[in-house]
A and B are shown apart, each in its own frame.
Chain A
Amino acid sequence: MAGKTLLPVRSRAAIQESAARFPPGRQRSAVLDALRLAQEENGGWLSVPLMDAVAGELELPPIQVYEVATFYSMFEVRPVGRHCVSVCTNISCWLRGGGELLAHLENRLGIGAGESTADGRIYLKKEEECLAACTGAPMMMVDHRYYEHLSTEDADRIVGELKR
């Protein structure tokens, strides 16, 4: 393993800890954990040099890291806002106003789903998947936290309180 890497020491330790859950030689299984850690350390997105560093840490060809980073919806490969807001509009949420909730936030933030605010504060994720909180519809996920049974006022307050 090369001496120089973009990954901080604590991420490297966490990546190795993850790799230890798998049999010897199967460290590729830790790539999802490694990318998640790298992305969190990097303000929510993965650059190519960062993905290369993950590849180096796990001793994988970089292509095996790129193909994972671009397959899964929770990885971002371009810069995005610091807070990730995902409004679910799948069928159960859609039936209870998830679509209207998303439109409301788009309007309020002045961006479309898939875009980030100009100040880099908020990224409004284009959410295709159901987030499995269907009985709490409509709902949204903000930085891994679920908010359920939302009114537009609730959503305004939650988004308004996000750190600058």
Chain B
Amino acid sequence: MSMPLVHLCMPPPEAEKPWLLESYRKRGGYSSWSRVLDGKLKAAEILRAVKDSGLRGRGGAGFPTGLKWSFMPSDCEQPSYLVCNSDESEPGTCHDRDILRYNPHVLIEGMALAAYAMGASVGYNYIRGEFLGEPVPRFLAALEEARAAGLIGRGLGKAKVDFELHPFVGAGAYICGEETGLLESLEGKPGKPRFKPPFPAQSGLYGRPTTVNNTQTLASVPAILQNGSEWFKALGAPNSAGTMIYSVSGHVERPGNYEAPLGVSFNDLLEHAGGVWKGRQLKAVIPGGSSVPVLPAEIIRECAMDYDSLSKAGSALGTGAVIVMDETTCMVSALRRIARFYYAESCGQCTPCREGTGWLYRMLTRMLEGRAQAADLDLLLNVANNIEGHTICALGDAAAWPVQSFLKHFRPEFEAKIRSSASQREAAYA
């Protein structure tokens, strides 16, 4: 196998009970945070290192992390907040769950370093409600260990650092993965996204300066400080520093979470996941979670799995959730299942999304049930185009992109489905 596996966010496979503090320390864990507590590592140095490392957000948008941190006002009146987004719910994505289960301390250290760099003394980790069974208890146990070891709390170390970290457990809503929806939820409200500006760095949780970062983003921070920005940058590809945990799901022999340097080729990643299952041919791949545009086999085969390469190919790295579809997949049915999700998860505050997502789902259902006409494909696209860019948050775009890309690459299959479903229906009534 030609794909090198690296372990920054995921623990090395040989580590025993890698979620325990003792195991994390053996791997060099908390060495940077201990330097902070000893007064040897300054906030400005952390910010500089993360900026120089080229780390970009792993939650989907890929925004440069250091730049986001620098939006926080310096010397602001406390409190200001760091919030971790562990509300992992982009379809296809399941690596933050594994960070919480197997490497919770790397997240805690990453949050501590991030908060310190931004001058935030309080952090919340927003964990999705469905993680109550296993990831939440693991995170809580790690937090207790860290607290008992004097790593979390008030007046820590020689430097007398304050960092309080609290868990927050959601209750089931995809929209809370959107950062301002998440903040609303954290305030105890329905998770309806806010207009931006103001951005959270000016007015976030309780109207205070707040930065929201994804779990994997924060989990990448300790390695940057331990090994240096240049080392981190050299791991990945241009504009794509570091590693990504690729969640490879769907029609492969060995679905799994594989952490690899950004820029690994799609073919290597697919091979690592055992190739397309049952000896079948590859038809299409959604490379970054269900919201990003689908790519047909001949395009994705040429791609490197990084921000630039996938963007050039007309899709996006998104969350690194690689959804593989074999030659037997019905693209109309697949798109309808995706459309149903956005219909169900639209928070309802913007009309184009609330109404449009329902239209998309119902029109695709009509196509599968033989009640559509060829002209409906243009109408479908028209509805999608009228949602995109016309909503407060990106859920509207996320509902539109699959429709646009499925039609762009697989339109003949949709046309054929409309014809064949209609003739089957007529035959049934003849």
Knowing A89-B337, A91-B290, A95-B250 touch, does A132 contact B171 (C-beta < 8 A)? no
A144 contact from B91, B133, B324, Cβ within 8 A? B133
> Is B329 part of the contact surface with A, judged by Cβ < 8 Å?
yes
B92 contact from A68, A74, A75, A130, Cβ within 8 A? A130
> Is B393 part of the contact surface with A, judged by Cβ < 8 Å?
no
A29 touching B187, Cβ below 8 Å: yes
Q: Distance in Å from the Cβ of A31 to the closest Cβ of chain B?
A: 4
A133 touching B97, Cβ below 8 Å: yes
Q: In the complex, what residue of chain A is closest to B91 when comparing beta carbons?
A: A130
Considering the complex, which residues of chain B in the window 310-324 have a beta carbon less than 8 Å from any beta carbon of chain A?
321, 323-324
A28 to B187 CA separation, bound complex (whole angstroms) = 6
Chain B interface helix/strand/loop/mixed? mixed
B91 contact from A90, A96, A135, Cβ within 8 A? A90
> Is A30 part of the contact surface with B, judged by Cβ < 8 Å?
yes
A132 touching B97, Cβ below 8 Å: yes
B337 touching A91, Cβ below 8 Å: yes
Residues of the B chain whose Cβ atoms lie less than 8 Å from the Cβ of A146: 133-134
A68 touching B341, Cβ below 8 Å: no
Q: Distance in Å from the Cβ of B73 to the closest Cβ of chain A?
A: 19
Considering the complex, which residues of chain A in the window 23-72 have a beta carbon less than 8 Å from any beta carbon of chain B?
23, 26, 28-33, 35-36, 64, 67-68, 71-72
Residues of the A chain whose Cβ atoms lie less than 8 Å from the Cβ of B48: none
A135 touching B257, Cβ below 8 Å: yes
> Is B304 part of the contact surface with A, judged by Cβ < 8 Å?
no
B249 contact from A21, A64, A134, Cβ within 8 A? A134
A21 to B174 CA separation, bound complex (whole angstroms) = 24
**How many B residues face the partner with a CB closer than 8 A?**
58
Considering the complex, which residues of chain A in the window 109-164 have a beta carbon less than 8 Å from any beta carbon of chain B?
128-137, 141, 144-146
Q: In the complex, what residue of chain A is closest to B343 when comparing beta carbons?
A: A128
Residues of the B chain whose Cβ atoms lie less than 8 Å from the Cβ of A144: 130, 132-133
Q: In the complex, what residue of chain A is closest to B273 when comparing beta carbons?
A: A135
B171 contact from A28, A36, A91, A137, Cβ within 8 A? A36
A99 to B324 CA separation, bound complex (whole angstroms) = 17
Residues of the A chain whose Cβ atoms lie less than 8 Å from the Cβ of B211: none
Q: Which of B37-45, B188-196, B372-380 forms part of the interface with chain A? A: B188-196
Q: A74-B171, A134-B91 are in contact. List 6 more A-B contacts (CB 8 A).
A: A21-B166, A26-B188, A32-B170, A128-B344, A132-B88, A132-B97
**A: which residues have CB within 8 A of B?**
21, 23, 26, 28-33, 35-36, 64, 67-68, 71-75, 89-92, 94-96, 99, 128-137, 141, 144-146
| 26 chain-A/chain-B pairs, Cβ below 8 angstroms | A31-B188, A32-B185, A33-B169, A35-B171, A68-B189, A71-B173, A72-B173, A73-B171, A73-B173, A89-B337, A91-B286, A91-B341, A92-B323, A95-B249, A130-B93, A130-B341, A131-B130, A132-B93, A132-B94, A132-B97, A134-B255, A135-B248, A135-B256, A141-B130, A144-B130, A146-B134
